[in-house]
Chains A and B, each alone.
Chain A
C-alpha cells in the first residue's frame, strides 16, 4: 500500500489509564487521514485484545481494535508477552500463534515483526 505509515507501540494495559484509548484514537484519526497504521500490542497492552471485554464506564478497547482492523489497521500482539499471560494456545504456524482469546483482527505474532514495522514506518509512537 502506498502512503505514509504510522506504527503505534502500546505497552500499557487497558482501563487503568487512558493511554490505550489515546493510542487507538490516534490510530483512528490516522486512518481517516489516509495513512497506513500498524499497532503492536506489547507487554500489558496484549490484554487490550482479549475477547469478551465488558467495561461498564469505559470505551471497550477490544471492540475498538476490531473496528480499526476492519478499517485497515494491521494489529499484532507480542507472542512472548501474550504467552506469559496465557493467550498462546499452540505452536507458531506461518508467523502466527494460535489463540481463541483474541478479538477478530488481532494476531499474536513474533517480536521480529515489530522490528520490520519499525524499519518500514515513517513515524513511530510508543505510548
Chain B
C-alpha cells in the first residue's frame, strides 16, 4: 500500500508531531510513505527536526523548492533524505491521482 502525506504546518506543533508519529508507525508495516513538505511544512525537513529521527527505506520525502526559497532556507540546512523540487505540487497531484492508496493531510 502506498500512502501520500502532505505536511503544511511547521514542526513543534501537535499536528506535526502526531503526523510523524503516525508515519513512523505506517512504515513499520508493508506500506510505503511519500511525504510532501509544502508551505510551512518545509521547516520539518530541516536538520534537527522531525524527519531526522525516521530512518527507513519505506519513506521518501520531497520539499517544495519555491516554498524553501520563500523562507530563505538553503538546501544544506535540510536532512539528506529530503529531495527539493520546483513545481512539486504538479508531481504530487499526479502521485495522488495515479499511485496513492491513502492520503493524509497535516
Chain A positions near chain B (C-beta within 8 angstroms)? 4, 6, 17-19, 21-22, 25-26, 29-30, 32-33, 35, 122-127
List 10 additional contacts besides A4-B97, A26-B92; criterion CB under 8 Å. A6-B96, A17-B8, A18-B39, A19-B8, A21-B39, A26-B89, A33-B90, A123-B103, A126-B105, A127-B6
CA distance A29 to B39 in the complex (A): 16
Residues of B within 8 A of A125 (CB): 6, 96, 103, 105
Within 8 A of A (CB), among B85-99: 89-90, 92-94, 96-97
Rounded to whole angstroms, the CA-CA distance of A19 and B38 in the bound complex is 10
Q: Which B residues are within 8 Å of any A CB, using their own CB?
A: 6, 8, 38-40, 89-90, 92-94, 96-97, 100, 103, 105
A25 to B8, CA, bound (A): 13
7 example contacts (A-B, Cβ-Cβ < 8 A) are as follows A6-B96, A17-B8, A17-B39, A25-B89, A29-B92, A33-B90, A33-B93
Q: Taking the nearest CB of chain A, how far is it from the CB of B9, in angstroms?
A: 8
Nearest opposing residue in chain A for B92, CB measure: A26
B103 partner residues in chain A, CB cutoff 8 A: 123-125
Please state if A29 and B89 are interface contacts (CB–CB under 8 Å). Answer: yes
The secondary structure that dominates the B interface is helix
Given A26-B89, A123-B100, A127-B105, A33–B38 Cβ distance below 8 Å? no
Q: Check B97–A22 contact: CB distance below 8 A.
A: no
Whether A22 and B92, one on each chain, are in contact in the complex, defined by CB atoms closer than 8 angstroms, is no
In the complex, what residues of B have CB within 8 A of residue A33's CB? 90, 93-94, 97
Contact A30 B93 (CB under 8 A): yes
Known contacts being A18-B8, A18-B39, A125-B6, is A35 close to B105, with CB within 8 Å? no
Residues of B within 8 A of A126 (CB): 105
Which residues of B have CB within 8 Å of A30?
Answer: 93, 97
Whether the Cβ atoms of A29 and B90 lie closer than 8 Å is yes
**Neighbouring A residues of B38 by C-beta, 8 Å:** 22
Q: How far is the CA of A21 from the CA of B41 in the complex (A)?
A: 14
Determine whether the beta carbon of A32 is less than 8 Å from that of B8. no
A4 CB contacts on chain B under 8 angstroms: 97
Q: How far is the CB of A63 from chain B (nearest CB, A)?
A: 19
